[in-house]
C-alpha cells in the first residue's frame, strides 16, 4: 500500500532488499512529510507566537492549523486541549509531573498495567518516590489480555489516576480501554491512555473514549521524530500546575510572582519543534487520505498472514495471542536467544527488533530475556513476510 512514497525502502542491505519490520520502534516517513520539513526550513522558518513580522506570523498560523489538524484527528473537543510535546514519553512525564504535583499526596495510589512500556511506568515511580504514593498493577493473562476483574479489586478510594496503554508494543494487544475508562470513571478516577502504538493503526476518538489524557508520538505515525501530543481534558489542564517554566507559558513575570498563560500555552514552555509540527500535520493528512480503516484492515491481513506463516515453524512460540491485536508479533524459538535470531536475519536484509522492547515486566511474566518482534506498517507486503519466514527458518537451522 503506497510503498512508492517511501524511497528509503528501495535499498539493499548486505546486498539484499531491505525488509523493514521494525515499525513499532519507528515508521518510515513518506516523501510528503520529508518535503514538508524541507519546505518549512527553506520557506517559513521563524519563531512563533512572539513576532510581528511576516514569517513569524506565517509560522504561527501554520503551527496553529496543525493543532487543529490534530484536534480533528483525535476528535478532541477544543484545539487548546492539544499540547505539543517531544513524544509519548514527554507527554506521560508531563502528566505524571504536573497532575502529580497538583493532586497526589502520601498514600495515594496510581494504577498501571503489567504490560506498560517503561515510559508509562518510570514517571509514576518518580512520583511514588517523591510523594510517597503507591504503584499498583493490573495483571494480564497468558494470552496477553488484561484481567479486568482484578481492575475492579484494585480500584480503591485512594486511587487517584489509572494509566494504561491502548496497544501493547510487545504483545500487540488492543486493550479494552473504553471499558477501563468506564470502570475508573464509576469511581470518578481519571484515566491516561498511552496511545503510542495505537494512533497509526486504529481510529482514536478521545471524546468517545472519554479518556482524560491521551499521549502519543509523531514518529510512530509517519511523522518526524521529536514531536508528540498530550491531549488532556480542559477541566484537568486548567487545574494542573505547569510542567516546565520558561517563555510562552507565562502571562506576566515579576520577581515577586508569575502568572501563567492560558491553554494550551501554559504547557508549552520554550520554543517548540515547529518544523516537526508541520511534518506531523502532513503525516496526519497522509493517513487521512488513505483512511485509517483501510490501514487497519490491510495491517490486519498482514498480521493474520504472518501469524499463520510463523506459527508453522516448529518450536516457535508467539507471545501475545489476544483476540484483539494490532500488527505486532513477538516470538521466540525454543531456547535460542532472540538477539541471535535478530543478528542472523539482519544479514539477510530483515530489520526486526530483539530484546525486552522497554517492557521488562512482560519478560518477567513469561520468564524470558526478550523476544524477536516483527511489527508491520501500511507499506509492508506479504512477500516481505515470506522473506521473514524464510530467514527465520534459516536462522533456526543455523542455531539449533
CB of 118 to ligand PLP, least distance (A): 8
Give yes or no: 128 in active site: no
Using CB under 6 A, which of 119, 127, 202, 352 touches ligand PLP? 119
Q: List, in order, residues 6 or more apart from 47 with CB less than 8 Å away.
A: 56, 59, 271, 274
Q: Which of 194, 268, 276, 384 binds ligand PLP (CB under 6 A)?
A: 194
- Candidates 2-10, 11-19, 85-93, 145-153 — which segment interacts with ligand PLP by CB under 6 A? 85-93
Burial letters 47-75, b for 16+ CB under 10 A, else e = ebbeeeeeebeebbebbeebbebbbebbe
Of 27, 113, 217, 371, the residue at the interface with ligand PLP (CB under 6 A) is 217
Residue 173 interacts with ligand PLP (CB under 6 A): yes or no:
no
Which of 97, 197, 332, 371 is close enough to bind ligand PLP by CB under 6 A?
197
Residues 6+ apart with CB under 8 A from 372: 330, 331, 332, 338, 341, 342, 352, 353, 354, 392
Among 49, 67, 71, 117, binds ligand PLP (CB under 6 A): 117
**For residues 89 and 159, which CB has a smaller minimum distance to ligand PLP in the complex?**
89
Q: How would you class 277 by CB atoms within 10 Å of its CB: exposed for 0-12, middle for 13-18, buried for 19 or more?
A: buried
- Whether 360 contacts 118, CB under 8 Å: yes
Point out which span in 83-91, 129-137, 171-179, 259-267 binds ligand PLP (CB under 6 A): 83-91
Residue closer to ligand PLP by CB (options 222, 316) is 222
Is 88 an interacting residue with respect to ligand PLP (CB under 6 A)?
A: yes
By CB under 6 A, residue 113 contacts ligand PLP: no
- Residue (88 or 333) nearer to ligand PLP, CB: 88
**Residue 276 is a binding residue for ligand PLP (CB under 6 A):** no
Query: Which span (116-124, 128-136, 270-278, 376-384) binds ligand PLP, by CB under 6 A?
Result: 116-124
Residue in 96, 138, 196, 263 binding ligand PLP, rule: CB under 6 A: 196
Q: Could you tell me the smallest distance in angstroms from the CB atom of residue 320 to ligand PLP?
A: 13
User: Closest Cα partner for 117 from 362, 364, 367, 339?
Assistant: 362
Q: What is the nearest approach in angstroms of ligand PLP to the Cβ of residue 345?
A: 21
> Is position 165 an interface residue for ligand PLP (rule: CB under 6 A)?
yes
In terms of CB distance, is 88 or 341 closer to ligand PLP? Answer: 88
Whole-number Cα distances in Å, 221 to 8, 201, 217, 234, 282: 16, 9, 7, 25, 11
Q: In whole angstroms, give the CA distance from residue 328 to residue 171.
A: 7
Q: CA 190 to CA 175: how far, in whole Å?
A: 17
Please identify, among the stretches 194-202, 244-252, 266-274, 295-303, the one whose residues bind ligand PLP according to the rule CB under 6 A. 194-202
* Grid coordinates belonging to 183: 470502570
Nearer to ligand PLP by C-beta: 62 or 194? Answer: 194
Q: What is the set of active-site residues?
A: 358
In the complex, which residues of this chain contact ligand PLP (CB under 6 A)? 87-89, 117, 119-120, 165, 169, 194, 196-197, 217, 219
Amino acid at each position: 500500500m503506497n510503498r512508492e512514497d517511501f524511497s528509503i525502502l528501495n535499498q539493499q542491505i548486505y546486498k539484499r532488499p531491505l525488509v523493514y519490520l521494525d515499525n513499532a520502534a519507528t515508521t518510515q516517513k513518506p516523501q510528503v512529510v520529508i518535503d514538508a520539513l524541507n519546505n518549512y526550513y527553506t520557506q517559513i522558518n521563524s519563531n512563533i507566537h512572539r513576532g510581528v513580522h511576516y514569517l513569524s506570523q506565517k509560522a504561527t498560523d501554520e503551527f496553529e492549523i496543525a493543532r487543529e489538524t490534530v484536534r480533528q484527528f483525535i476528535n478532541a473537543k477544543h484545539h487548546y486541549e492539544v499540547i505539543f510535546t517531544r513524544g509519548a514519553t514527554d507527554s506521560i512525564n508531563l502528566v505524571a509531573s504536573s497532575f502529580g504535583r497538583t493532586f497526589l499526596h502520601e498514600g495515594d495510589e496510581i494504577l498501571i498495567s503489567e504490560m506498560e512500556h517503561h515510559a508509562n511506568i518510570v514517571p509514576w515511580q518518580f512520583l511514588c518516590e517523591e510523594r510517597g504514593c503507591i504503584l499498583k498493577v493490573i495483571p494480564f493473562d497468558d494470552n496477553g489480555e488484561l484481567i479486568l476483574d482484578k481492575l475492579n479489586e484494585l480500584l480503591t478510594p485512594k486511587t487517584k489516576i489509572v494509566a494504561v496503554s491502548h496497544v501493547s508494543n510487545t504483545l500487540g494487544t488492543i486493550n479494552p480501554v473504553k471499558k477501563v475508562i468506564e470502570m475508573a470513571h464509576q469511581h470518578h478516577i481519571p484515566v491516561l491512555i498511552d496511545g503510542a502504538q495505537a494512533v497509526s493503526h486504529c481510529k482514536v476518538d478521545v471524546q468517545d473514549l472519554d479518556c482524560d489524557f491521551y499521549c502519543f508520538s509523531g514518529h510512530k505515525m509517519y511523522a518526524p521524530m521529536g514531536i508528540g501530543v498530550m491531549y488532556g481534558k480542559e477541566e484537568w489542564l486548567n487545574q494542573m500546575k505547569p510542567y516546565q517554566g520558561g517563555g510562552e507559558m507565562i502571562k506576566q513575570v515579576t520577581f515577586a510572582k508569575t502568572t501563567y498563560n492560558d491553554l494550551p500555552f501554559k504547557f508549552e514552555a520554550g520554543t517548540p519543534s515547529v518544523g516537526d509540527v508541520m511534518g506531523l500535520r502532513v503525516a496526519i493528512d497522509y493517513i487521512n487520505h488513505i483512511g485509517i480503516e483501510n490501514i487497519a484492515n490491510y495491517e490486519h491481513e498482514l498480521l493474520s498472514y504472518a501469524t499463520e506463516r510463523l506459527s508453522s515453524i516448529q518450536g516457535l512460540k508467539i507471545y501475545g495471542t489476544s483476540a484483539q491485536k494490532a500488527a505486532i508479533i513477538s516470538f521466540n524459538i525454543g531456547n535460542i536467544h532472540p538477539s541471535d535470531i535478530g543478528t542472523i536475519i539482519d544479514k539477510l536484509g530483515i530489520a526486526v527488533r530483539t530484546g525486552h522492547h522497554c517492557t521488562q515486566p512482560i519478560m518477567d511474566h513469561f520468564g524470558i530475556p526478550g523476544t524477536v518482534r516483527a511489527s508491520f506498517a501500511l507499506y509492508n507486503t506479504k512477500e516481505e513476510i515470506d522473506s521473514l519466514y524464510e530467514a527465520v527458518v534459516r536462522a533456526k537451522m543455523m542455531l539449533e
